[in-house]
Amino acid sequence: MDTSSDEADDWFIDSLNTYKDLHVFQLEHPTKVIEWTGDKRICVAGYTGARSEILELLLPLKLYAGDNQGLCAERDFKVQHGGFSEEPVECLIHIPETRFVVTSGGSSPALQIWDIGGDDSDVIKRTGVINPKSTSAKCGKIASGLTENPTVLHGSYTSDVQLTELATGRVLYTVGNESSDLVSGLQFVNACVFLICTSNGALLMGDIRDPLTCHYPLKESMSGLHWCFGLRTSSSQSDPSLCTIARLSSSGHMVLSDLRDLQNPFCQTQLNVQHSSAKNEFLIVSWASVLDSCLSVSGFDGTVQVYNTRNWSTEAQTPQPVFSHRGHDMSYEAKCSGSRPVVTTHAWHPSRPNTLLSAATDGSVHVWDWVDKTTDT
């Protein structure tokens, strides 16, 4: 069966120069989450059915073979552990230093706690549930606490965000905020300080030692847009002066702020993207783990765009990406099904500078190592 089109062929041929490594996989069901659970392992989970699979996958060994890469023919993912969730999985986070992940999804704010398991079994078992007292029917966003005692910060609206201790289910902290904005993301900056980004682009900064939070709305309100955020830290216990926050809107506005001065963003710009309000749920902005000043954006279409923000100034301009991953658009499955796939999520590799993983609505998962053509090295 002739499965290629000319455009796809061209792209693959070009990829010989534009990528160092490229792996294309097809999952049975699409995933909205890619979460690192170890140096070489990720978790993915289904969101399209009543019964969703959660899988822990081992990345292809060829990526880790180093100098002996030529002698390793192993290019496939290995399914290490798997489990079933009765609800679709919208969010999945890993609790560092443990084998636990926490998921949320479906039409309630309840969270599920799972034990991925060790060598003796391949089943991911649900070990607990957190039932927040919120009355909302929306599933919550989750972030892992950064203390030794495993905790999760979660909530669907700013009024119901709380910090829960995993082992006991005890609520250790609740955000004392009157307003009830929809939460688009939350994350800890260090063991005590956390950030919440609301759907309308405002940032809230809080400290678990203090019930009050500081509210930093966007200067010019752009209604009708959905915002998400990405936090860049150099380590989990970092000095706040090294934190940069990127906020991205569903029409491509990008706002960069320094944690020391959230009131006044140091850069605002407009990315060249197609606005589509239908895909707010897939909008992601993510800072590179190793490369300085690089961030990546996805959720608008079937591509992942990588930008270098170093040369962005405060004036409005349209920056060009240093790299655009078009693999999901060029896949065979996309051609067949009629509707073009949209990238649901992407993640940077924690230690390999140019390696990313991305997933799309057609069930594809790509692992790619892009070549930076803008530098001379």
Residues that bind another protein (CB under 8 A): 1-4, 9, 12-13, 15-16, 22-28, 51, 53, 57, 60, 68, 70-79, 81-84, 120-124, 365
Please report how close the Cβ of residue 24 comes to another protein at its closest, in angstroms: 4
Closest CB to another protein among 99 and 215? 99
Please report how close the Cβ of residue 79 comes to another protein at its closest, in angstroms: 5
DSSP characters for 312-341? --SS---PPPSEEE-TTTTSHHHHHHSSPP
Region of residue 66 (phi > 0: left; psi between -120 and 50: alpha; otherwise: beta): left
Cβ proximity of 100 and 113 under 8 Å: yes
Q: Which residue has the tokens 């679709």?
A: 88
The candidate with the shortest Cα–Cα distance to 90, out of 183, 171, 9, is: 183
Give the helix/strand (H/E) hosting 13.
helix 6-18
Tokens of 34: 């890619």
Measured CA to CA, the distance from residue 317 to residue 133 in angstroms comes to: 45
Please report how close the Cβ of residue 114 comes to another protein at its closest, in angstroms: 13
Please report how close the Cβ of residue 75 comes to another protein at its closest, in angstroms: 4
Closest CB to another protein among 244 and 361? 361
Please report how close the Cβ of residue 82 comes to another protein at its closest, in angstroms: 4
Closest CB to another protein among 3 and 179? 3
Q: Provide long-range contacts, Cβ within 8 A and 24+ apart, for 158-163.
A: 158/183, 158/196, 158/198, 158/204, 160/109, 160/132, 160/133, 160/134, 160/136, 161/186, 161/196, 162/132, 163/208
Cβ proximity of 216 and 247 under 8 Å: no
Radius of gyration (C-alpha) of the chain in whole angstroms:
20
Closest CB to another protein among 27 and 192? 27
Closest CB to another protein among 165 and 369? 369
* Dihedral angle computed from the Cα positions of residues 333, 334, 338 and 343, in that order, rounded to the nearest 10 degrees: 130
Q: Is 269 helix (H, G, I), strand (E, B) or coil?
A: strand
Closest CB to another protein among 53 and 329? 53
Please report how close the Cβ of residue 339 comes to another protein at its closest, in angstroms: 20
Closest CB to another protein among 124 and 259? 124
Please report how close the Cβ of residue 281 comes to another protein at its closest, in angstroms: 24
Cβ proximity of 78 and 68 under 8 Å: no
Please report how close the Cβ of residue 347 comes to another protein at its closest, in angstroms: 17
Closest CB to another protein among 25 and 312? 25
Please report how close the Cβ of residue 200 comes to another protein at its closest, in angstroms: 39
Closest CB to another protein among 73 and 171? 73
Q: What angle do CA 282, 163, 244 make, to 5 degrees?
A: 55
Measured CA to CA, the distance from residue 26 to residue 76 in angstroms comes to: 11
